[in-house]
Amino acid sequence: MSKLKTTMILDKNYQIAQVDERIYGSFIEHLGRAVYGGIYEPGHPEADEQGFRKDVIELVKELNVPIVRYPGGNMVSAYNWEDGVGPVEDRPRRLELAWRTIETNEIGTNEFADWAKKVGAEVMMAVNLGTRGIDAARNLIEYTNHPGGTYWSDLRRSHGYEEPHNIKTWCLGNEMDGPWQVGHKTAYEYGRIAQETAKAMKLVDPTIELVACGSSNTNMPTFPEYEATTLDLAYEHVDFISLHQYYGNRSNDPANYLAKNLDMDHFIKTVIATCDYIKAKHRSKKTIQLSFDEWNVWYHSNDADQKIEPWSIAPPQLEDHYNFEDALLVGSMLITFLQHADRVKMAAMAQLVNVIAPIMTENEGRAWKQTIFYPYMHASIFGRGISLKPILTTPKYDSKDFTDVPYVDSAAVYNEEKEEVTIFLVNKHLESNMPIDIDLRSFEGYKLIEHIELVNDDLKAVNTASHQAVQPQQNKNSKLDGGILTAQLAKTSWNVIRLKKD
């Protein structure tokens, strides 16, 4: 094997775009133990006066989550939002068709808006375009956003919420291209209902931003035609198109698995090209941005979910227990968002608590951090500013599904106000450390603050409530001298190198 070496040039003038903090968003769906037993567990020792778990709130604050998508997901496509407002004792129990459970409706729009305030996040609200449409959507936004003096806004006030919630980001349905969706629609059918719903909602509140559904994943037979047809109809009325993608390592091939962010990169580029084709076709001055509002690793829990009895309340669905290699891929996916900061302006890790999530809880017990918590936290805390384009030279490898996979993934964010720069790096080499030299001459007077790394000799290492096998540590061997930073990236590692002006 030839001697491995990576080099990088980082210049503050090589700018991609300002990072929109909403790329560090997340998602809470009425699914499994995300709400009941996750964010909400009255009677728990950590429950506040509304029944929300304070230990979970603290972990969400640690992630600094700016926006949270709600209430679904597949669940929203048969959801009547009116079931979740008003006196709790009067709310109906419903069959929840997406996940075949009982929805008690103890938590609804107002309670979730309260919880979002407690964690310091905005709400990204989804409307039901499966079994419902324009009328329910315009009523909901009147309920949440209109000050008062009308039927729906005064109903909110009668429910104890004098001031409007002012929810400014809205999803027009969910995965409407999917045959599994209640109310599944062809691209033309969906494009028309999205167009008309968008018009009505923006008449109620012209200041909102709207996300149209794109394809549920890149394997859909209608991708990317679904995006093209939808936008052809709704282009001037929507602001974002959604992307959803999950990855897994069912074949236990880590080299191939860790390369899957290349698939995400291709997905993003294809959707950008599709949006810009419709822009050109319409001779529009408007640019549609991307909302990657479902992304994560999801495969560990698939077999267990087949055994869950239907029509139970908050069963343990989609409870993936993440290992170390999952954290590495999550890190590379976050790097991919930063590399596309000019067009990916929102994202939502799906999901936030218990359901394919960085945070897990024990009912009546403690809350704890999964392996994927850490790269998500590092990116959210340190990845705010201007995304820079590193000039990277690194060896490459081939895997089962990918050729020319860079051993090192990289992104960098320059926070001009704080005079800080953070470099994110993943070393995918399964056997070798990777020496790296980073040319930082344009950052004169900067000093190295720290080099955080996530490392473990066991790619399958997992965290539990009682033991954090995978957690960050300090790499003390990195040095900055004469504008050149030298470091060793441990084999299969996530790295955060932070610099600040002296």
Q: Which residues are catalytic?
A: 175, 294
What is the spatial distance between Cα 123 and Cα 243, in angstroms, rounded to a whole number?
18
Cβ neighbors of 279 (< 8 A, separation 6 or more) are 235, 286, 287, 288
Whole-angstrom distance, CA of residue 282 vs CA of residue 272: 15
| In contact, 270 and 148? CB cutoff 8 Å | no
How far from the centroid of its chain's Cα atoms is residue 263's Cα? Answer: 17
Alpha-carbon distance of 256 to 460, in angstroms, equals 15
Q: Is 284 left (phi over 0), alpha (psi -120 to 50) or beta?
A: beta
- Residue 187 pairs in a beta bridge with none
| Tokens encoding 277 | 């084709």
Give 301's contacts (C-beta < 8 A, 6+ positions apart): 317, 318, 319, 320, 321, 356
Which one-letter amino acid corresponds to residue 489? Answer: L
Largest CA distance in the chain: 74
User: Left if phi > 0, otherwise alpha if psi is -120 to 50, otherwise beta: which for 60?
Assistant: alpha
Q: Write phi, then psi, for 391 (nearest 5 degrees).
A: -90, 100
**Closest residue by Cα to residue 214 from 135, 277, 274:** 274
> To which residue do tokens 């394919």 refer?
356
In angstroms, the CA 169 to CA 302 distance is 31
Let me know if 384 is exposed, middle or buried by CB neighbors in 10 A (0-12, 13-18, 19+): buried
- In the three-class reduction of DSSP (H, G, I as helix; E, B as strand; rest coil), residue 290 is classed as strand
